[in-house]
Chains A and B, each alone.
Chain A
Amino acid sequence: MRITGGDLLLLSHAAFGITGCLAALWVFVEALGARPANLHRIRTASLVAAIAIGAAWICGGYWYLHFYPAEKALILGGPWPLAHNLFMETKEHLFLATAMLAFLLPIVARERLDSNSPARKLVLSVAALVVVTGLAIEGAGAVIDHGVKVALLRSAAKESR
Chain B
Amino acid sequence: MKDSEGLTATTSGFVLATAVTVLVNTALACVKDAYAPLKVAMRSVTGHDWTTQGLLDLALFVGLGLIFTKTRIAEQMSPSRLTSALIGAVVVAGLGLALWFAFT
Nearest CB of chain A from residue B73's CB, rounded to whole Å:
16
**Residues of B contacting A: mostly:** helix
- The answer to whether A97 and B87 touch (CB under 8 A), given A115-B2, A118-B79, is no
CB–CB B22/A100 < 8 A: yes
CB contacts (< 8 Å) of A65 on chain B: these are 47-48, 50-51
Chain A 102-143 per-residue mask, 1 if CB under 8 angstroms from chain B, else 0: 011001101110111111011001100100010010000000
Query: Whose C-beta in chain A lies nearest to the C-beta of B99?
Result: A90
Nearest CB of chain A from residue B16's CB, rounded to whole Å:
10
Query: CB of B63 within 8 A of chain A?
Result: no
Most buried by B among A65, A85, A122, A133: A122
Task: Please report the C-alpha to C-alpha distance between residue A115 and residue B6 in the assembled complex, in whole angstroms.
Answer: 11
Nearest CB of chain A from residue B22's CB, rounded to whole Å:
5
CB–CB A112/B97 < 8 A: no
Chain B 1-42 per-residue mask, 1 if CB under 8 angstroms from chain A, else 0: 111111110110011001001100110010001000000000
Query: Whose C-beta in chain B lies nearest to the C-beta of A84?
Result: B101
CB–CB A97/B10 < 8 A: no
Nearest CB of chain B from residue A92's CB, rounded to whole Å:
6
- The answer to whether A108 and B1 touch (CB under 8 A), given A97-B25, A118-B6, is no
CB–CB A111/B93 < 8 A: no
Task: Please report the C-alpha to C-alpha distance between residue A64 and residue B48 in the assembled complex, in whole angstroms.
Answer: 10
CB–CB A86/B101 < 8 A: yes
Interface members, chain B 58-100 (any A CB < 8 Å): 61, 65, 78-80, 82-83, 86-87, 90, 93-94, 97-98
Most buried by B among A57, A65, A86: A86
Task: Please report the C-alpha to C-alpha distance between residue A52 and residue B92 in the assembled complex, in whole angstroms.
Answer: 25
CB contacts (< 8 Å) of B5 on chain A: these are 116-118
Instruction: Select which of A61, A110, A117 is within 8 A of B3 by beta carbon.
Output: A117
Query: CB of A96 within 8 A of chain B?
Result: yes
Task: Please report the C-alpha to C-alpha distance between residue A11 and residue B41 in the assembled complex, in whole angstroms.
Answer: 32
